[in-house]
Amino acid sequence: MLSVNCLKVITCALIFNQCFGFFNQPQKSHEHDDCFCQLEGKIDECSCNIDTVDSFNNVKIYPRLQSLLVKDYFRFFKVNLKRPCPFWVDDGGCAMRYCHVEYCEENAIPVGLKGERTASNHNKFTAGPESCNEHQDLGYLNKTISEKAQHDMEKWAAHDDALDNFCIKDDQGEGAEYVDLLLNPERFTGYAGESAHRVWRSIYLENCFRPKETFSFNPYIQAAKLNNMCLEERAFYRAVSGLHASINIHLSAKYLLSGRNGLSLKDPNGEWGPKLDEFKRRFSPELTNGEGPNWLRNLYFVYLLELRAIAKAAPLLERENFYTGDDSEDYDTKMAIKDLLSVIKKFPEHFDETTMFRGSKEAEKLKYEFKQHFRNITRIMDCVGCDKCRLWGKLQTQGLGTALKILFSGKFDYDGSGKLVNKTDMQLQRNEIVSLLNAIGRLSTSIYKLDDFRQMIR
């Protein structure tokens, strides 16, 4: 029998053989470069290579998104961060000052975003000038709506919303407020422990598809077992896992650098930057039971999924005015969107959503389960104990949910000649557009930052 030491040597050799970079510069230490050992070759369930995505994103997409997302239309996100957790008593929280969200002052919100119509002011009859008042009785149209009719319309809207949407939206009603995303960047806040772990456990164990013949209290599915699931189930897991990986990269890339110049979590003037040890802790094979590199691969999968959704929604986005009340900025935003879409359309190997949910009643049932699982995940975001983490969790899950709506609701589909089946069905609310573009912005940033960590390791 082999000794323990021999087994260790063989295991190390296998890891070295799987990963790139070790043989080019053998004289240097690359003990943790194995975080990136799966980041080559074709992306699972897709036709393009990781190197292609790296080049396309880092050179063409990332810089365009960085300049677009600082525009007023995309920096103000309306959200309700005060809804109670619907699944358990929320005993978690974050006492750090960096968990706090800065809300917008009324005068800071662009005037165009304040002008949202409501039933109360839209349905009032307004008399014209005196010369017209003489004859207003003849042409009077009663535009008032009864309370019961209003209630019925709200029920119909909620029903339609439930049919099409993959996420629970909370940008209307009491508690919804505008947040300036530039004043509340996503970064490490110190939020951790059982409260944070319970959120992700609930997402993976109760709201992700899992191999039917096995069940484990480990929330993560080993990459080797994904082949025991159907395409749609694998896609769901990879999308959620890729989003999780992206969030972990953000927290590692903007980590509070305690120990540098005496800074700590309690310091009011925190300084953030990349923390290599934190990145290794979250993704190295040694600390993730060998799965960390696979989670990074899933980041590329969800990136391609959301990129395809934006390409599919291009006709709608091209005719959107992106109105904020500032004519000059609105024009710049519209031109920046057109430029971004022109680049995205030229990407040769988009994710192909037409391979999913095909054919049978069983496929429709699976799509319904797919949608319900993801709607639950958006509700779990109300259980995040750190306000800033809750903000970015809500925005990114809504962005992914909007992408799933575009890909699978049927409202954005084309016929065989490349024409939209029904242009009137293609609709997105402002918050959906804002979350979709910010979500792809976060994924794009994660892929860009991966290259920084790769260079730091080497």
Residue 10 lies in a domain: no
For the chain, percent of residues with pLDDT exceeding 90 = 50
pLDDT by residue (tens digit) across 164-216? 788 888 888 788 999 999 999 999 888 888 888 899 999 998 888 887 665 56
Q: pLDDT at residue 274 above 70?
A: yes
The number of domains in the chain is 1
Q: Which of 319, 352, 322, 323 is nearest to 423 (CA)?
A: 319
Confidence of residue 264 (pLDDT cuts 50, 70, 90): low
| pLDDT attached to residue 93 | 63
Residue 191 gets which letter from DSSP? -
Q: What is the four-CA torsion angle of 292, 297, 298, 302, rounded to 10 degrees?
A: 150
Q: pLDDT at residue 145 above 60?
A: no
SS3 352: coil
Confidence of residue 265 (pLDDT cuts 50, 70, 90): low
| pLDDT attached to residue 342 | 97
Our measurement of the distance from residue 108's CA atom to the centroid of its chain's CA atoms, rounded to an integer in Å, reads 26
Q: Is 67 annotated as a binding residue?
A: no
Indicate if 99 belongs to the active site. Answer: no
Asked whether 282 and 32 are in contact (CB, 8 A), the reply is no
Q: What are phi and psi of 344, to 5 degrees?
A: -60, -40
| pLDDT attached to residue 269 | 61
| pLDDT attached to residue 122 | 34
Mean of the pLDDT values across residues 386-402? Answer: 96
| pLDDT attached to residue 400 | 97
Confidence of residue 131 (pLDDT cuts 50, 70, 90): very low
pLDDT by residue (tens digit) across 302-337? 999 999 999 999 999 999 999 999 999 999 999 999
Asked whether 354 and 47 are in contact (CB, 8 A), the reply is no
Q: What are phi and psi of 51, to 5 degrees?
A: -60, -35
Asked whether 259 and 278 are in contact (CB, 8 A), the reply is no
More confident residue, 143 or 167: 167
More confident residue, 63 or 426: 63
| pLDDT attached to residue 424 | 64
Q: Which of 373, 432, 85, 438 is nearest to 240 (CA)?
A: 373
pTM, two decimal places: 0.81
Q: Is 390 annotated as a binding residue?
A: no
| pLDDT attached to residue 206 | 84
Q: Which of 294, 299, 265, 309 is nearest to 400 (CA)?
A: 309
Q: Which of 138, 12, 87 is nearest to 380 (CA)?
A: 87
Angle at 13 between CA 12 and CA 15, to 5 degrees: 65
Largest CA distance in the chain: 105
Range of the domain at 65: 38-106+176-259+270-457
Indicate if 389 belongs to the active site. Answer: yes
Residue 140, Ramachandran bin (φ over 0: left; ψ between -120 and 50: alpha; else beta): beta
| pLDDT attached to residue 238 | 94
Angle at 35 between CA 30 and CA 40, to 5 degrees: 100
Confidence of residue 272 (pLDDT cuts 50, 70, 90): confident
Q: Is 244 annotated as a binding residue?
A: yes
More confident residue, 364 or 62: 62
Q: Which of 19, 453, 118, 432 is nearest to 278 (CA)?
A: 453
Mean of the pLDDT values across residues 9-37? Answer: 44
Q: Which of 283, 206, 218, 237 is nearest to 44 (CA)?
A: 237
Q: Is 11 annotated as a binding residue?
A: no
| pLDDT attached to residue 451 | 93
Lowest-confidence segment of 58-62, 111-115, 142-146, 185-189 by average pLDDT: 142-146
Asked whether 170 and 82 are in contact (CB, 8 A), the reply is no
First to last CA, the chain: 37
Mean of the pLDDT values across residues 339-354? Answer: 93
Residue 133 lies in a domain: no
Asked whether 321 and 330 are in contact (CB, 8 A), the reply is yes
| pLDDT attached to residue 44 | 79
For the chain, percent of residues with pLDDT exceeding 70 = 74
CA dist 384 and 390 (Å) reads 5
Confidence of residue 143 (pLDDT cuts 50, 70, 90): very low
Of the ranges 80-84, 292-296, 439-443, the best mean pLDDT one: 439-443
Residue 28 lies in a domain: no
Confidence of residue 259 (pLDDT cuts 50, 70, 90): very low
CA dist 26 and 416 (Å) reads 54
Residue 132 lies in a domain: no
Residue 252 lies in a domain: yes
| pLDDT attached to residue 172 | 80
Residue in 35, 37, 85, 389 annotated catalytic = 389
Q: pLDDT at residue 421 above 60?
A: yes
CA dist 362 and 264 (Å) reads 54
Angle at 339 between CA 338 and CA 344, to 5 degrees: 95
Residue in 35, 37, 383, 386 annotated catalytic = 386
pLDDT by residue (tens digit) across 48-98? 888 999 999 999 999 999 999 999 999 999 999 999 998 887 655 665 677
Residue 163 lies in a domain: no
Asked whether 190 and 99 are in contact (CB, 8 A), the reply is yes
Strand partners, 224: none
For the chain, give the mean pLDDT: 80
Residue 218 gets which letter from DSSP? S
Residue 326 lies in a domain: yes
Buried b (16+ CB within 10 A) or exposed e, 408-436: bbebbbeeeeeeeeeeeebebebbbbbbb
Residue 153 lies in a domain: no
Name the CA radius of gyration of the chain, rounded.
Answer: 24
Confidence of residue 118 (pLDDT cuts 50, 70, 90): very low
